[in-house]
Chain A
């Protein structure tokens, strides 16, 4: 009887193991193509294509992922590439779809079948099986770049909607992050000794990122978003709202002289006398209207957004993590990039080579990205500890039921499946800089040079009594420009 029992349970176990592999493999293989090949390798090919103006190829490749698990990520990349190409319609549609997907994800059932499936698959394979939901800083950029699309269409009210969404996302991200952190800490308390050692190992490996991450307070506050929203409010003739957003931007970037001027100018216009005095004494009595190159005639404003370079990419690092079955090397994502200072763009009037000034930084996207990864460490550690436990269990199961061959297979599977989640929005800039000057009404040919990369270009802008926005994107030594006159 006992013999039969043992025989049965052995067969059952084998059956169970076979069945579990049968169920797990399809999940892993269908869920996304990023599970076994790295996202960065795939995207870098497309980014190289952009620098040689092969936009359509990149757009075509990304179009295949419209319905994939990581559609939010691919659509954000696609929307951005469309914008670099100056194809506002295509970019607008992509961001719209991405925004809808984010909304759907946020409103999904709390215990969602598809989520549970992905999380379970992540336990057996890696974090890449979890559908990409977008980091806080990325979602903020998604709304903001969409706002720019509306500006390009001269739909200022539509741009207003998007900047409001971007601003509320900043607040929400902060709140959500605090909650998530508290929850991860609670979970960590249950496995205190394990996680403590894991944290220590991870933190020493991540120390190299502190240099960059230390440049920002958190990964959500983005002065560029506030600045663009200030511009939109000024275009909508709501100076009071603009003043509030410029002030928020100034809090994050107090040294930006263009911001200082805007805040002082609006404090004066809105008769905020006390605040005007405060700002004027803090920043010195700068010329309230930076009338560079203004003649006697009528002038208009030129606002320059310079989106410089490309955000750093995540790499993989193996970090030893203690598990019930001993120390196991686990793949974590990491940024190896060193801090690179924001190199300014110089503008001059082509005729006569008269200098108009240089741009000043308003957002270090590189720091937001690195900080965002650091903020996710507690949650990541928990998931990795659970995963190593699950993988060890499979290995044991394989050994017990399928003998040494099973063990070899499951070991190979474990090594192959251990991939760090290096997904992130890669076509974002490394940093953003602004400039704001007055120019005489009429057409101007401007010359732009970026000394650090050797990039330079000429652009014709037309200035009227309202505002002209000039957006310059630099990728490697190419400058991509758009100008919108309101």
Chain B
């Protein structure tokens, strides 16, 4: 009889623990390998490699020694097999560069919003003219960041091989010269398990 009782207890414990969802906080920079799809680790690797490479490139070090040139980020073209938010990658790159204190940025995605604000400050009559931002004082960008994100996917019956290549270029707008460029390659494979559900 006792045996049965313990069995029932044990069984119900298994059921209870089996049903509870397990939520944990993890380190955001921990290596993530759930699938071969583009993930947080790939994003972090790309951002770190690109920013480190840019800021340690000798001519760039020289240019940024005494002044902080202005740049803007153009879009990264998504040529991969996945719907990837490339703006999220460029956001991270921009944030990291800003934090280095070497460059300053203007944001081309916010031009319309800024224009609207100018209009409000100068024409609505609500804003004190003395504190209104004056039109035509914005700084022109000296450099443009742009790039491509492409991938090659090979699938066989039990293996999936993904190769990502992220290329970033820095163009000097006035001369059109590409002052710096680098690429980050990532290769991931996954194998189907032999047994499973």
Quick one: given A168-B153, A176-B157, A179-B157, are A110 and B193 in contact (CB under 8 Å)? Answer: yes
> Smallest CB–CB gap between A293 and chain B, Å?
35
Residue of B nearest to A236 (CB): B77
Quick one: given A157-B78, A160-B79, A161-B81, are A107 and B197 in contact (CB under 8 Å)? Answer: no
- By the criterion CB–CB under 8 Å, are A160 and B78 in contact? yes
Residue of B nearest to A237 (CB): B77
Q: Give the interface segment out of A111-119, A192-200, A443-451.
A: A111-119
Complex formed: what's the CA distance from A108 to B82 in Å? 20
A109: interface (CB < 8 Å): yes
By a CB distance below 8 angstroms, the chain A residues around B192 are 107-110
> Smallest CB–CB gap between B157 and chain A, Å?
7
By a CB distance below 8 angstroms, the chain B residues around A160 are 78-79
By a CB distance below 8 angstroms, the chain A residues around B194 are 109-111
Q: Mark A91-115, 1 if CB is under 8 A from B, else 0.
A: 0000000000000001111111110
Name the interface residues of B137-195: CB closer than 8 Å to any CB of A: 153, 155-158, 160, 190, 192-195
Name the interface residues of A149-184: CB closer than 8 Å to any CB of B: 157-158, 160-161, 164-165, 168, 172, 175-176, 179
B92: interface (CB < 8 Å): no
- By the criterion CB–CB under 8 Å, are A113 and B196 in contact? yes
Complex formed: what's the CA distance from A110 to B83 in Å? 27
By a CB distance below 8 angstroms, the chain A residues around B35 are 107
- By the criterion CB–CB under 8 Å, are A168 and B77 in contact? no
By a CB distance below 8 angstroms, the chain A residues around B195 are 109-113
By a CB distance below 8 angstroms, the chain A residues around B79 are 160, 164
B80: interface (CB < 8 Å): yes
By a CB distance below 8 angstroms, the chain A residues around B158 are 110
| Cβ contact of B197, chosen from A114, A158, A172, A236, cutoff 8 A | A114
By a CB distance below 8 angstroms, the chain B residues around A165 are 81
> Smallest CB–CB gap between A27 and chain B, Å?
15
By a CB distance below 8 angstroms, the chain A residues around B82 are 161
> Smallest CB–CB gap between A237 and chain B, Å?
10
Complex formed: what's the CA distance from A108 to B155 in Å? 14
- By the criterion CB–CB under 8 Å, are A107 and B160 in contact? yes
By a CB distance below 8 angstroms, the chain B residues around A236 are 77
By a CB distance below 8 angstroms, the chain B residues around A175 are 156
> Smallest CB–CB gap between A380 and chain B, Å?
20
Complex formed: what's the CA distance from A108 to B157 in Å? 11
Complex formed: what's the CA distance from A422 to B192 in Å? 30
Q: Mark B54-95, 1 if CB is under 8 A from A, else 0.
A: 000000000000000000000001111111000000000000
By a CB distance below 8 angstroms, the chain A residues around B196 are 108-109, 111-113
Complex formed: what's the CA distance from A109 to B158 in Å? 9
> Smallest CB–CB gap between A19 and chain B, Å?
23
By a CB distance below 8 angstroms, the chain B residues around A108 are 192, 196-197
Complex formed: what's the CA distance from A480 to B81 in Å? 30
Quick one: given A168-B153, A176-B157, are A161 and B78 in contact (CB under 8 Å)? Answer: yes
Q: Mark B104-126, 1 if CB is under 8 A from A, else 0.
A: 00000000000000000000000
Complex formed: what's the CA distance from A158 to B160 in Å? 22
> Smallest CB–CB gap between B18 and chain A, Å?
17
Quick one: given A109-B192, A110-B192, A110-B193, are A158 and B83 in contact (CB under 8 Å)? Answer: yes
Complex formed: what's the CA distance from A165 to B157 in Å? 17
Name the interface residues of A227-261: CB closer than 8 Å to any CB of B: 236
> Smallest CB–CB gap between B159 and chain A, Å?
10
By a CB distance below 8 angstroms, the chain B residues around A109 are 192-197
- By the criterion CB–CB under 8 Å, are B81 and A107 in contact? no
Residue of A nearest to B151 (CB): A164
| Cβ contact of A112, chosen from B153, B190, B197, cutoff 8 A | B197
Residue of A nearest to B193 (CB): A109
By a CB distance below 8 angstroms, the chain B residues around A113 are 195-197
Complex formed: what's the CA distance from A236 to B82 in Å? 16
Residue of A nearest to B196 (CB): A109
- By the criterion CB–CB under 8 Å, are A172 and B155 in contact? yes
Complex formed: what's the CA distance from A168 to B151 in Å? 12
Complex formed: what's the CA distance from A283 to B81 in Å? 35
> Smallest CB–CB gap between A145 and chain B, Å?
16
Residue of A nearest to B194 (CB): A110
Complex formed: what's the CA distance from A110 to B197 in Å? 10
Residue of B nearest to A179 (CB): B157
By a CB distance below 8 angstroms, the chain B residues around A107 are 35, 160, 190, 192
Quick one: given A107-B192, A176-B157, are A164 and B77 in contact (CB under 8 Å)? Answer: no
Residue of B nearest to A165 (CB): B81
What are 6 A-B contacts defined by CB distance under 8 Å? A109-B192, A111-B194, A112-B195, A113-B195, A157-B77, A175-B156
CB-based closest 6 A-B pairs: A109-B196, A109-B193, A157-B78, A110-B194, A110-B192, A111-B195
